[in-house]
Amino acid sequence: MRIRHIFAAALLAGLLPTHALADTLALSLAEAQTVFNEASRQWEVVIRLDDDSAKAFARFTQAHQQQKIAVMVDGKVLVTPMIRSPIYGGPLPIGGSDSQAKSQDLAERLQSGRSILTVAPAE
């Protein structure tokens, strides 16, 4: 419910285009943890979505195949991956940082619900 209020307030303030509310999907996490990616030599936050969000994300990625999407935390775009095929689950890495502390902070904010994870078609 909190997500709807935030988007509604932003929409009323003219901060979002009218189609953004329908195209943006807020996701709830079951888990977020910090992992060092040896290949990229960066720290990442690896998330696992709760069951409802995993299903919604699968539908979202099904609908946006062959398109870039924006993965955002608190409205700030972290990555814009190309969706080649639907994503039905599993751990998902987001972001990349050379700082373990920054990645740990992001993981803690997402896990606690202090930060909001959303996805939307990239413009």
Is the overall model pTM greater than 0.75, yes or no? yes
Q: Which residue ranges make up each domain of the chain?
A: 25-121
Instruction: Compute the half-sphere exposure of residue 120: CA atoms within 13 Å on the CB side of its CA.
Output: 21
pLDDT, mean over the chain: 85
* Span 54-65, pLDDT tens digits: 999 999 999 999
Give the residue with greater pLDDT, 98 vs 27: 27
* Span 63-92, pLDDT tens digits: 999 999 999 999 999 999 999 999 998 899
∠ CA 27-98-50, nearest 5°, is: 15
Q: Maximum CA pair distance of the chain?
A: 44
17, two tokens: 């285009």
Residue 27 burial class via C-beta count within 10 angstroms: exposed 0-12, middle 13-18, buried 19 and up: buried
Give the model's pLDDT for residue 67: 96
* Right CATH for 25-121 from 2.40.110.10, 3.30.870.10, 3.30.1360.200, 3.20.20.20: 3.30.1360.200
